[in-house]
Structure 1
Amino acid sequence: MKNIFKIFLLGILVVFIISCQEDDDKVMLNNTSVSTLSVNKTTVVLDETTADQAALVFEFRNPTFSPSVQFTNAVEFAVAGTNFSPNTTREVSMGQNTFSLSHLQLNNILADLNVVPNTLKSIEIRLKSNVNPVTPFYSNVLKVSMTGYTPNPDLIFPKINVPGGYAGAAGYADWTPANAPNLFSPDKNSQYRGFIYVTAPNSEYKFTINQDWAGDKGDDGTLTGKLVETGEQNIKAATAGTYYVKVDWTANTYSSVLANFGVIGDATPAGWGADTDLVYNPSTKTYVINSIVLTAGGVFKFRANDDWAMKIQPAAADQTLASGTAVQTFFNAEGTVQGDSSYKVSETGNYRIELDLHNSAYYKLTVTKL
């Protein structure tokens, strides 16, 4: 019995010693000085004509810790009064104590925060230092009044290039990635889509990124929609016309379908019985009907290949267009159209119709009364 008691006491002593050692191993992290952040302006009006120029210049001082630990920095933005929820962040290099953000970068930040363009908004900014994913330390909070602009979708959405022997006749340059039609990613991921116009059958093309030949991709030789970077073959457009092309850059897949558009509806001369075809204009890189009679009280929409599978329409309800004013229009194959909406005509007359399909993030329609 005495032996059992001794063993019990020894066990308690061992646990006590180990516990004390673990407590000794624990180190308290002290934030000995907080980070600071300053900016050169408190009001800024963003301008797309100087998109790449610095709009704000920041200076910061890192926090210090005892003992010294590694950490990362990011600058955090939020609409004033929201307690930084929601917010958007941008990484900050650890090798410097100043950084700048361009007009375009700040405009994208406002877009992330759902700030309406051309509206003055107070934005709060702070430096966030992460010692680990669950231990952030913050600087002082700055307030900057910002006015954003309606961005050019060509500048804010990722894109890949479609160089080929067809491009010169479409208003670009043959086999030149920096001057070729683009496929855009409206969701800002690896999936790209858009239209190319081909004037001759069996025209060849490939896919590139960053407007350069490095990393270009083509068909793997099976003609089954698979892309490869090494040993690739040029892709061929079997017939002349407009093609709707989709590429998953990460999954290395692509698809291409003929999509020649015309306008149809009871507002058009042929009614619902026939299409009036759009003609590609290489100088403007748009699809046009230079003159067509449209009748008041009627409607029209655009469809491809004289069929109803692919249509260009308003997003939802029927829409009456203002003469000469460009509006965003939508492609039903991309899941952006509700119902079977059409465009309305409010006044009978001759009209010019221009459909701009060069950017899948913002298809644009302009109807002008002549």
Structure 2
Amino acid sequence: MKKITLILTLVAGLFIFLSSCQKVEKDPVMDLNLSTPASFTSPESGTVLVLLLADSANPFVMNWNAATYSVSNDAAVPETNYTLQVGLADSNFVGAKELSNTKVLTYETIVYSLNNFLLSLGIPGDSTATIELRIISAISGAAQTSDTSAVITMTVTTFSPPVPPPPDETPHLWVPGDYQGWNPGAAPNVWSPANDGVYKGYVYYPEGGTFEFKFTAAPDWDHTNFGFGSEGTLSTDPGAGNLSVAEFGNYFLTCDTVNLTWTNEIRNFTLIGSFNEWAGDAELTWDNTNRMFTITMDFAAGAEVKWRANADWAVNFGDSGAGDNTLSQDGANIVLTDAGNYTLNLYLEKEVPTYEVIKN
């Protein structure tokens, strides 16, 4: 028994001795004091750059050296992110704009795009200004590793781009949603007659759905889509949630793609006129197949009618006078010359609302 105990004691001691001789691995440590920021290699500071419309398609390239980091154990450094910022001279980069955000050591664009960027910075067309550039480098996901390059300056001369021709049709967005099977190609539109990024229009949401929808920049899901950002704001993130209205009904939507905001206002239309001495409102029926409001009733000869929203005159539609059955705010009364039974149809989901008068 003593012999067995002695053997076990020797084995245990040998194990402890061998364990104490093993190398203890430690996590790699980065010494931020030994890191170096990125540095421009081209263009050189003081470069004079004259941009010309004739050179619009020519390339413009910037290059820089990588930022370096000192890490123990020769550990691999995660990818470094480089943000290229441009500001006006002597602005201390207040109001600066981001020209590029990349993980490579170069930035390439064309002269026309660079000129447009400089105009967005506040430099007028056909003028000369001095700009400052810097690169902010940081290891992805580690903000504390951020470092800034030496600033370089450039003197740039811009050009005034030609005025683009007006679009062939009024710019518009599509409004697909649960109410129509989430099919952008078959969805109603909202319109921007001023081509200023603000789109407006009517959409009717029938009973029985979720009243959820999005705005899309094309009749598909492959381009920019505008979903829920926060209350009253939009997000272009492909994973953004759906927008929604509170209940069924006819809504006037506004989508501001510049400021990424949106609003909705319920506007339920009714018919008013001489048939009820302009003192009441006849309810309309929604035809979901034809996306229109309709009403059929008897009228006396010479009856006059208009449509208005929410039983109020703040929003009311009469004939525009253009002779094409278009409607306008505060337009003329619509006159039904002969007595009889009529069907009146109201089409709101258009760039310009229209109406139809059918004598039955």
TM-score, normalised with respect to structure 2: 0.50
1:257 and 1:202 map into 2 onto residues whose CA distance is 17
Q: Which residue identity is paired with 1:347?
A: D
From 257, 265, 270, the counterpart of 1:257: 265
| Deviation readout 1:264-310 (Å, 9 max, x if unpaired) | 011x2x33222112222122222111x21222333211011222221
Residue 236 (structure 1) aligns with: 244
Q: Which residue identity is paired with 2:334?
A: Y
Match status 1:272 vs 2:285: no
1:157 and 1:343 map into 2 onto residues whose CA distance is 27
Q: Which residue identity is paired with 1:193?
A: K
2:240 and 2:286 map into 1 onto residues whose CA distance is 30
Residue 207 (structure 1) aligns with: 215
Q: Which residue identity is paired with 2:355?
A: L
8 Å CA contact retained: 1:326, 1:365:
no
8 Å CA contact retained: 2:227, 2:236:
yes
Query: In structure 2, the residue corresponding to 1:217 is in which secondary structure?
Result: strand
8 Å CA contact retained: 1:326, 1:367:
no
Match status 1:348 vs 2:312: no
8 Å CA contact retained: 1:202, 1:238:
no
Correspondence list, 1:61-80, <5 A: 71=54
Shift of 1:367: 0.8
2:55 and 2:333 map into 1 onto residues whose CA distance is 52
Match status 1:368 vs 2:351: no
Match status 1:297 vs 2:302: yes
What are the ranges of 5 or more consecutive residues in structure 1 without an aligned counterpart?
A: 1-68, 74-131, 135-152, 168-173
From 284, 290, 301, the counterpart of 2:290: 284
From 170, 182, 186, the counterpart of 1:175: 182
Query: In structure 2, the residue corresponding to 1:71 is in which secondary structure?
Result: helix
1:72 and 1:271 map into 2 onto residues whose CA distance is 69
8 Å CA contact retained: 1:326, 1:366:
no
From 219, 227, 234, the counterpart of 1:218: 227
| Deviation readout 1:217-251 (Å, 9 max, x if unpaired) | 12222x2x211112633112211111111111122
Residue 65 (structure 1) aligns with: none
From 155, 172, 180, the counterpart of 1:159: 172
Shift of 1:259: 0.9
2:169 and 2:290 map into 1 onto residues whose CA distance is 21
2:302 and 2:215 map into 1 onto residues whose CA distance is 45
Shift of 1:351: 0.9
Residue 197 (structure 2) aligns with: 190
**Compared CA separation, residues 327 and 72, structure 1 to 2 (3 A):** farther
Q: Which residue identity is paired with 2:262?
A: Y
2:55 and 2:355 map into 1 onto residues whose CA distance is 46
Shift of 1:345: 2.6
**Compared CA separation, residues 347 and 212, structure 1 to 2 (3 A):** same
Over the matched positions of the two proteins, sequence identity in percent amounts to 28
Shift of 1:253: 1.5
Correspondence list, 1:50-89, <5 A: 71=54
**Compared CA separation, residues 72 and 363, structure 1 to 2 (3 A):** farther
Shift of 1:356: 1.3
**Compared CA separation, residues 177 and 344, structure 1 to 2 (3 A):** same
| Deviation readout 1:97-130 (Å, 9 max, x if unpaired) | xxxxxxxxxxxxxxxxxxxxxxxxxxxxxxxxxx
**Compared CA separation, residues 202 and 306, structure 1 to 2 (3 A):** farther
**Compared CA separation, residues 70 and 238, structure 1 to 2 (3 A):** closer
What are the ranges of 5 or more consecutive residues in structure 2 without an aligned counterpart?
A: 1-51, 57-158, 162-166
| Deviation readout 1:40-66 (Å, 9 max, x if unpaired) | xxxxxxxxxxxxxxxxxxxxxxxxxxx
1:281 and 1:207 map into 2 onto residues whose CA distance is 23
Superposed CA RMSD: 2.9
Query: In structure 1, the residue corresponding to 2:185 is in which secondary structure?
Result: helix
Q: Which residue identity is paired with 2:176?
A: P
Task: Provide the aligned length of Structure 1 versus Structure 2.
Answer: 200
Structure of greater Rg: 2
1:191 and 1:175 map into 2 onto residues whose CA distance is 22
Q: Which residue identity is paired with 2:249?
A: G
Residue 310 (structure 1) aligns with: 315
8 Å CA contact retained: 1:163, 1:205:
yes
1:72 and 1:295 map into 2 onto residues whose CA distance is 70
Query: In structure 2, the residue corresponding to 1:178 is in which secondary structure?
Result: helix
8 Å CA contact retained: 2:218, 2:224:
no
